[in-house]
A and B are shown apart, each in its own frame.
Chain A
Amino acid sequence: MAAARLSTRDDIGPAVRRRLAGFVRTLRDAGFNVGLAETRDALALLASADRARLAEVRPALRALFCGRRSDWDAFDEIFDAFWTGSRVKSRVAMSGTSALASQKTARTLAPASSAGGEPGPAADVERGVDQPEADAAPEGRREGASRAENLARTDFRRIADPDALAEAHALAERLARRMRVRLTRRDRAAARGRRLDLRRTVRASLATGGTPLRLVLRRPRYRPLRLVVLVDASGSMSLYTGVFLRFVHGILDHFREAEAFLFHTRLVHVSDALREKDTARALDRLGLMAEGVGGGTRIGDSLATFNRWHAARVIHSRTVVMILSDGYDTGEPDRLGAEMAALARRCRRIVWLNPMIGWDGYEPSARGMAAALPHVDLFAPAHTLESLAALEPYLARL
């Protein structure tokens, strides 16, 4: 590596100062979380003479500026590109992570797949729903879908009219939100093993001469369920992907602990894109990620990727994994079975939503689906809004 001198004196010149500012800007553009304090510390480092050689500055700046593994992996390349002028081979080529997808989408904002929808009309429709029309569903489970009673029961693939589709999307999202609010409230209401709070009990006993007449109990801790959603975005699912993404966006938007992944021939982590507040933008980004390479679905391989690289981070004992897929796997069924078994060991429940269950005369006979079924805790239809809404009681019981 070139042992170029960054500065030759103890004192640091304005030129280096400017270069460093440029470097920090480059890092921020690349997604690093670098603040003023870090920049100030870096200046102090560069000013100390024995750190002036590039080879010595690199590890110091790396320790200072990196905050996570992805930063760490990208740092050297950016550092070389900036300080020695070698070309960046674009940091996104490294893996199929969300960085890849988000950068790609930032550049080409083409009309997204069916998920895109126009924000305007969709919003209008949504507002329309709440107005006078008052034939609320009697059991109140899906008030959001009240006016659109028929819509709620229509298979997504039969909704051809774009307005109706947009409405279905909006409803899916509202449904997801409502579901999430209910879940957390129930969660909080459920009292879990109450323990004695000794500290407060002793405090309270002072008034009664040390006799603990009033026992103070610890308040039960509020432990949210974590939801990990894996959405099949392959060609055979294309009619459903849009609605599902909308549904997942609704869940993620407020769920404190939720992660989402898309898969077709490979697995893409999409939580970041889905956390975008603006629905239309989030769906634009997602629509592009959802466009697979064409080919078939490799559910087994995608699950293997998930188990190997993501499961340890996103799954804990209170995690429900929700897979939205028709189960048509072009890979080996044995592989899918083995990966499902591995996944089932890690998480609390696996819910598999298959839109085809709603079709007349459907049997889960696809070989992949048959291999996966023994490990699935709930196998449910997901072809209409009503079927999505029916999930809530199940999740609430966990």
Chain B
Amino acid sequence: MLDRQTIADRLATVGYVADAGLSTALALMDLLKRPLLLEGEAGVGKTEVAKALAAVHGVELIRLQCHEGLDRADALYEWNYQRQLLAIKAREGLDADETEAHVFSEKYLLERPLLAAIRRPVAPVLLIDEIDRSDEEFEAFLLEILSDFQVSIPELGTVRATAIPRVVLTSNGTRELSDALRRRCLYHALDFPDVDREARIILARLPDIDVALALQIARLMERIRKEDLSKLPGVAETLDWAAALVGLGVTRIDAEREALFDTLACVLKTREDHARMTPEVLGRLIARVA
């Protein structure tokens, strides 16, 4: 088991810049064997946490993307019906019981993320992304899996976890999650990084970038997020933008405002936001941070 400091150090080496609270929470996941629930707006880097955690422990990342109408068949397991039908045809005339046992064997089982996560010999990181998009029924079912780490498949029997996966759940808060699920999990609220942390993130991901430019971009992003936008740009947008500016050979944001304005496509993703961010507005923001 890794302690807090080791986790913080390793996160830094895999390119994730975490604050003390997050590395504590990640260390506690192992200590208390609880899943971690991450909440925060879209774009604050929730999914990245799981990827970084998998890298820190050097294990596989298994991802379950939740959506409305997600059910057991999509999340847990499914039988390969086409092959089953073929097999039944091919075995026509043989003993029916035997055929049944045959087509409901391991060979015809399709693993979905949840089953995959508990059958791996080495405990993976299981990322359950945007749990708030799934239905209440699925949430209840998930709660059951997360407390027992075993699945019963009627035709095969019960599958018990060989190693308990580390589970990270993320939520954008589009639906209120049940208290039971919240109780079961550790909790961490992620916000947009502050200027210093964002600058360090840019530097970690784009080692070629000029330090002064990274800092300027981070400061500008802070200003942009304070504007009245319908969709606030996230960390991924920042990185895209920084990469675009580096690619265009920009070295100081106040020197090349046009390049900045032309590359706003990296940052603003709705029409209203583009209409709102006129060259004048952007110029005013740049003047403040440069």
Binding site for B on A (CB under 8 A): 33, 35, 37-38, 41, 44-45, 50, 56, 59-60, 62-64, 66-69, 71-73, 198-199, 201-202, 205-206, 209-210, 212, 221, 312-313, 316, 342
User: Which of B48-56, B118-126, B169-177, B279-287 lies on the face that meets chain A?
Assistant: B169-177
Decide if A199 touches B32 in the complex (CB within 8 Å): no
Interface size on B, residues (CB 8 A): 39
Decide if A59 touches B21 in the complex (CB within 8 Å): yes
User: Are A33 and B173 CB-contacts (below 8 A) given A62-B21, A206-B96, A209-B92?
Assistant: no
Interface centre among A50, A59, A73 (most CB of B within 10 A): A59
Q: Does B47 contact A (CB under 8 A)?
A: no
A60 touches which one: B24, B84, B183 (CB < 8 A)? B24
Decide if B174 touches A312 in the complex (CB within 8 Å): yes
A72 touches which one: B69, B189, B230 (CB < 8 A)? B189
Interface centre among A37, A44, A62, A212 (most CB of B within 10 A): A62
User: Are A63 and B186 CB-contacts (below 8 A) given A206-B99, A210-B89, A312-B172?
Assistant: yes
- A60 and B24 CA atoms in complex are apart in Å by 6
- Closest A residue to B100 using CB positions: A206
Decide if A60 touches B28 in the complex (CB within 8 Å): yes
User: Are A202 and B81 CB-contacts (below 8 A) given A63-B21, A67-B182, A210-B88?
Assistant: yes
Q: How far is the CB of B1 from chain A (nearest CB, A)?
A: 11
- Closest A residue to B180 using CB positions: A33
- Closest B residue to A38 using CB positions: B183
Contact residues, B158-207 vs A (CB, 8 A): 172-176, 179, 182-183, 185-189
Can you give 30 A-B contacts (C-beta < 8 A)?
A33-B179, A33-B183, A35-B183, A41-B34, A56-B4, A59-B20, A59-B24, A62-B21, A63-B21, A63-B36, A64-B186, A67-B185, A69-B39, A69-B173, A69-B189, A72-B187, A72-B189, A73-B189, A199-B79, A199-B81, A206-B96, A209-B92, A210-B92, A212-B85, A221-B69, A312-B172, A312-B173, A313-B174, A313-B176, A316-B174
Q: Does B3 contact A (CB under 8 A)?
A: yes
* Additional 5 contacts, C-beta under 8 A, given A63-B28, A67-B183: A50-B3, A56-B4, A68-B182, A202-B81, A210-B88
Interface centre among B3, B21, B188, B189 (most CB of A within 10 A): B189
Chain B residues within an 8 Å CB radius of A63: 21, 24-25, 28, 36, 186-188
- A56 and B25 CA atoms in complex are apart in Å by 11
- A71 and B188 CA atoms in complex are apart in Å by 10
- Closest B residue to A41 using CB positions: B32
- Closest B residue to A201 using CB positions: B81
- A206 and B84 CA atoms in complex are apart in Å by 10
Q: Does B78 contact A (CB under 8 A)?
A: yes
- A68 and B37 CA atoms in complex are apart in Å by 9
- A50 and B173 CA atoms in complex are apart in Å by 34
Contact residues, B28-75 vs A (CB, 8 A): 28, 31-32, 34, 36, 39, 69, 73
- A199 and B24 CA atoms in complex are apart in Å by 44
- A97 and B185 CA atoms in complex are apart in Å by 25
- A386 and B84 CA atoms in complex are apart in Å by 59
- Closest A residue to B93 using CB positions: A209
- A368 and B176 CA atoms in complex are apart in Å by 32
Q: What is the predominant secondary structure among interface residues of chain A facing chain B?
A: helix
- A396 and B281 CA atoms in complex are apart in Å by 47
- A198 and B20 CA atoms in complex are apart in Å by 49
- A313 and B177 CA atoms in complex are apart in Å by 11
Chain A residues within an 8 Å CB radius of B187: 62-64, 66-68, 71-72
B88 touches which one: A71, A206, A342 (CB < 8 A)? A206
Q: How far is the CB of B142 from chain A (nearest CB, A)?
A: 16
Interface centre among A33, A37, A68, A209 (most CB of B within 10 A): A68
Decide if A64 touches B173 in the complex (CB within 8 Å): no
Contact residues, B86-104 vs A (CB, 8 A): 88-89, 92, 96, 99-100
Chain A residues within an 8 Å CB radius of B28: 45, 60, 63-64
Chain A residues within an 8 Å CB radius of B179: 33, 67
- A316 and B25 CA atoms in complex are apart in Å by 31
- A316 and B67 CA atoms in complex are apart in Å by 13
Chain A residues within an 8 Å CB radius of B4: 56
Decide if B173 touches A313 in the complex (CB within 8 Å): yes
- A312 and B42 CA atoms in complex are apart in Å by 11
Chain B residues within an 8 Å CB radius of A50: 3
Chain B residues within an 8 Å CB radius of A38: 183
B31 touches which one: A45, A59, A198, A212 (CB < 8 A)? A45
Q: How far is the CB of A146 from chain B (nearest CB, A)?
A: 36
- Closest A residue to B155 using CB positions: A203
- A67 and B38 CA atoms in complex are apart in Å by 10
Interface centre among B21, B24, B34 (most CB of A within 10 A): B24
Chain B residues within an 8 Å CB radius of A67: 179, 182-183, 185, 187
The 9 A-B residue pairs whose C-beta atoms are closest, nearest first, are A210-B88, A67-B182, A59-B24, A63-B25, A59-B21, A72-B189, A66-B187, A63-B186, A198-B81
Interface centre among A50, A201, A312 (most CB of B within 10 A): A312
Q: How far is the CB of B253 from chain A (nearest CB, A)?
A: 28
Decide if A33 touches B182 in the complex (CB within 8 Å): yes
- A59 and B31 CA atoms in complex are apart in Å by 14
- Closest A residue to B181 using CB positions: A67
Q: How far is the CB of A73 from chain B (nearest CB, A)?
A: 8
Chain A residues within an 8 Å CB radius of B79: 199, 202
Chain A residues within an 8 Å CB radius of B173: 69, 312-313
Chain A residues within an 8 Å CB radius of B39: 68-69
Q: How far is the CB of B271 from chain A (nearest CB, A)?
A: 12
Q: How far is the CB of A28 from chain B (nearest CB, A)?
A: 13
Interface centre among A35, A38, A60, A205 (most CB of B within 10 A): A60
- A62 and B3 CA atoms in complex are apart in Å by 17
Q: How far is the CB of B8 from chain A (nearest CB, A)?
A: 11
- A368 and B34 CA atoms in complex are apart in Å by 51
Chain B residues within an 8 Å CB radius of A72: 187, 189
Chain B residues within an 8 Å CB radius of A37: 183
